[in-house]
């Protein structure tokens, strides 16, 4: 009996051992069944993307010279911040420059295509009374007679070329019903266009409470020249309007230095005010290459001073303008480092240059695409550079291939691989 019991005990032990072996085998098989696919064919962990600091890559040049007397500013376009300012920064009287705002607000309500005459406008008794009043005050006017029919284009020619105060009021009343209604519309237009430091209390700028900053007025100059009807009108030396009246361009000034005048005026409180576009040729260029600046000089004390200031701006702008590479093909903007030690770079796919002044380090914003592997030349995002001439965007591409690390690394690095596998199952 004792031998029988011993035999039974040994059999039970062998059965228990066999059960453990089978259990372990099942665990191993299940583990291999999950771990193997997860590591060998599952997704890889994402490479770390490090953005390269590109500040200071583009060469910095001198800014064009603007006067410190009065208030001055120049911009490259409607949207860009001024890249040169001088003198007073607070709002100052703007004189006849206010008439440019009148034209813009009227055209916003009553658009006019370049070259078109526009609707007919009948001169009223109130328009005639305004003409007589401004004439008596020795303010600029263009004659009108009651009952005459003027086109909108002719009215704008008198306003912009001849700086006619009576036509400023007449246009405002025609477009909005009254000068007060125009002023409400003008306040809204100025806010909508970011000219928050500008206030107008009449259509003409004769009131000392018509004020603005040089920065606002430089942007308004850029806006005005971007309106085809205004640009076309201001390109003429004179115009013939109703009654065969001749209207000379009183804003034309310093054309031999590249200036296209938009408004040139004088009042005791505002001094000499000049809004303009300046066409700047590139230094040494023979193909007409260059850029256009838009500016405002306010509160200039006398004509000798503004003449010198305009010459200084034109000459300094031409001598410092240069073709500047803001992004160079092959320039590194992002470095990718993988968990298995591979390193590749996202580089600019092409060179982009701009004719401009770089007066401070350019700003680079990198949008890097996440990746695990990739081929040479594969697109991996973009870089956007903020310049005085607007934003420049260039695509980024890999400078070399980044491949799979292989089965050995996958099997011996379970934590990042399994984490990537779990992330892929839970994403979304």
CB 375 within 8 A of CB 60: no
H-assigned helices in 274-381: 303-320
Closest C-alpha among 231, 215, 220 to residue 193: 220
**Chain-wide mean pLDDT for the chain?**
88
pLDDT band at 39 (very low <50, low <70, confident <90, very high): low
Question: Residue 193 phi/psi, 5° resolution?
Answer: -100, 15
Specify the 3-state DSSP secondary structure of 112: coil
Q: Are strands 211-212 and 238-241 parallel, antiparallel or unpaired?
A: unpaired
The least confident of 75-89, 284-298, 333-347 is 284-298
Please state, in angstroms and as integers, the Cα–Cα distance from residue 57 to each residue in 62, 174, 324, following that order: 16, 54, 11
| Percent with pLDDT over 70 in the chain | 85
Task: Reply yes or no on whether the pLDDT at 179 is more than 60.
Answer: yes
Tokens of residue 165, six digits? 């105060």
DSSP state of 368: E
The secondary structure of residue 147, as a DSSP letter, is: T
DSSP structure string for 9-27: HHHHHHHHHHHHHHHHHHH
Report the distance separating Cα 109 and Cα 192, nearest Å.
14
Confidence band of 26 (pLDDT split at 50, 70, 90): very low
d(CA 144, CA 242): 9
Q: What residues have CB less than 8 Å from 91, skipping those under 6 apart? A: 197, 198, 199, 211, 212, 213, 216
Question: Model-level pTM greater than 0.85?
Answer: no
State how far the alpha carbon of 50 is from the alpha carbons of 298, 368, 369, 397, 427, in Å: 47, 9, 11, 15, 23
Q: Which pLDDT tens digit goes with each residue over 79-132?
A: 777 878 999 999 999 999 999 999 999 999 999 999 999 999 999 999 999 999
pLDDT tier at 6, thresholds 50, 70, 90: low
- Tokens standing for 328? 């160079």
Give the pLDDT confidence of 345-396 residue by residue, as tens digits: 999 999 988 776 766 778 899 999 999 999 999 999 999 998 877 789 999 9
Q: What span, in angstroms and rounded, lies between the C-alpha atoms of 299 and 296?
A: 10
Q: H/E element holding 47?
A: none
List the single range of 4-18, 106-120, 317-331 with lowest mean pLDDT. 4-18
The pLDDT value recorded for residue 30 is 44
């Amino acid at each position: 009996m004792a031998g029988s019991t011993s035999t039974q005990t040994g059999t039970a032990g062998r059965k228990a051992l066999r059960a453990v072996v089978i259990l372990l085998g099942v665990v191993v098989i299940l583990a291999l069944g999950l771990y193997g696919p997860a590591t060998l064919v599952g997704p890889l962990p994402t490479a770390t993307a490090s953005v390269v600091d590109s500040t200071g890559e583009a060469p910095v040049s001198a800014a064009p010279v603007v006067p410190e007397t009065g208030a001055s500013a120049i911009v490259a376009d409607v949207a860009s911040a001024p890249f040169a300012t001088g003198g007073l920064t607070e709002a100052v009287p703007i004189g006849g420059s206010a008439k440019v705002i009148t034209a813009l607000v009227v055209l916003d309500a009553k658009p006019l295509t370049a070259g078109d005459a526009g609707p007919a406008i009948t001169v009223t008794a109130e328009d005639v009374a305004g003409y007589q009043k401004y004439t008596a005050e020795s303010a600029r006017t263009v004659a009108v007679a009651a009952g005459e029919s003027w086109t909108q284009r002719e009215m704008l020619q008198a306003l912009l070329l001849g700086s006619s105060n009576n036509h400023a009021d007449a246009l405002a009343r025609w477009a909005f019903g009254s000068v007060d209604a125009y002023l409400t519309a003008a306040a809204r237009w100025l806010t909508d266009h970011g000219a928050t430091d500008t206030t107008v209390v009449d259509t003409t700028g004769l009131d000392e409470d018509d004020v603005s900053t040089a920065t606002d007025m430089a942007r308004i100059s850029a806006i005005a020249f971007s309106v085809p009807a205004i640009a076309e009108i201001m390109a003429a030396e004179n115009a013939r309007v109703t009654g065969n009246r001749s209207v000379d361009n009183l804003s034309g000034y310093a054309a031999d230095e590249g200036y296209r005048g938009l408004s040139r005026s004088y009042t005791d409180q505002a001094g000499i005010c000049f809004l303009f576009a300046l066409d700047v040729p590139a230094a040494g260029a023979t193909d007409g290459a260059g850029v256009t600046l838009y500016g405002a000089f306010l509160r200039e004390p006398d004509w000798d001073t503004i003449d010198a200031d305009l010459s200084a701006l034109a000459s300094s702008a031409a001598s410092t303008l240069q073709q500047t590479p803001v992004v160079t093909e092959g320039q590194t903007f992002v470095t990718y480092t993988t968990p298995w030690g591979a390193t590749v770079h996202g580089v600019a796919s092409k060179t982009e240059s701009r004719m401009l002044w770089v007066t401070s380090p350019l700003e680079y914003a990198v949008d890097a695409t996440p990746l695990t592997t990739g081929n040479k030349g594969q697109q991996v995002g973009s870089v956007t550079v903020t310049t005085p001439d607007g934003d420049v965007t260039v695509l980024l591409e890999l400078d070399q291939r980044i491949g799979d690390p292989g089965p050995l690394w996958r099997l011996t690095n379970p934590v990042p691989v399994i984490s990537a596998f779990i992330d892929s199952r839970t994403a979304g």
